[in-house]
Amino acid sequence: MADAGGNIQNIIKDITREGDVVIVKLTGEIDMHSSTELRGCLLEITQERPRLLVINMEEVLFLDSSGLAVFVETMQQSRTQGRQLKLVGLHPRVRSIFEISRLMDIFQIYDTQEEALA
């Protein structure tokens, strides 16, 4: 996880904007390398101050604690702005890292994107 080098793949699959809602679709593994990139992207988006930021994680198979920290920081941002952040489609393995870190109650987590947008 922390090994140097490694192929830096793009973990941000696409970003769609529907009015004041931004949906970020992620893919692959979020580890100590890719989380820096993720952080840059998410902080940029929160600067736009969207009413609702939905992070779709259906294709994220692995998340480490640095990725977790990035989500927490994004959450701090949207909270201070009075905006909303929703996470969608956590894989069981990803969900368990949220659980063990006792972060399930801090985030709004939905099974599908439709539910999050409803």
Partner 1 sequence: MPDYTNTSEPVIQVRSVIKSFGDQRVLDGIDLDVMPGEIMVVMGGSGCGKSTLLRHMIGSIVPDSGSVKLFGREITTLSEQEMNEIRKKFGILFQSGALINSLTVGENVALPLREHTHLDEKTIEIMIKIKLELVSLRIHADKMPAQLSGGMKKRAGLARAIALDPQILFYDEPSAGLDPVTSAQIDQLIIDLTRKLHVTSVVVTHEMDSAFSIADRMCMLDKGKVLKIGMRQEFETLRDTPAENLTSDQDKLIRQFLRGDADGPLSRRKADSDYEEDLLRV
User: Least distance in Å: CB of 47 to partner 1?
Assistant: 15
Query: Which of 49, 39, 48 minimizes the C-alpha distance to 11?
Result: 39
Q: Considering the complex, what minimum distance in angstroms separates the CB of residue 109 from partner 1? A: 16
Give DSSP secondary structure letters for 8-20.
----EEEEEEETT
Q: According to CB under 8 A, which one of 72, 84, 91, 108 is a site residue for partner 1? A: 72
To which residue do tokens 């904007």 refer?
17
As given in the structure block, the two tokens for residue 25 are: 């679709």
Q: In the window 1-30, what residues touch partner 1 (CB under 8 A)?
A: 1-4
* Total residues interacting with partner 1, rule: CB under 8 A: 25
Q: How far apart are CA 11 and CA 31, in angstroms?
A: 10
Q: Which residues here bind partner 1, judged by CB under 8 A? A: 1-4, 31-32, 35-36, 39, 64-66, 68-70, 72-73, 93, 96-97, 99-103
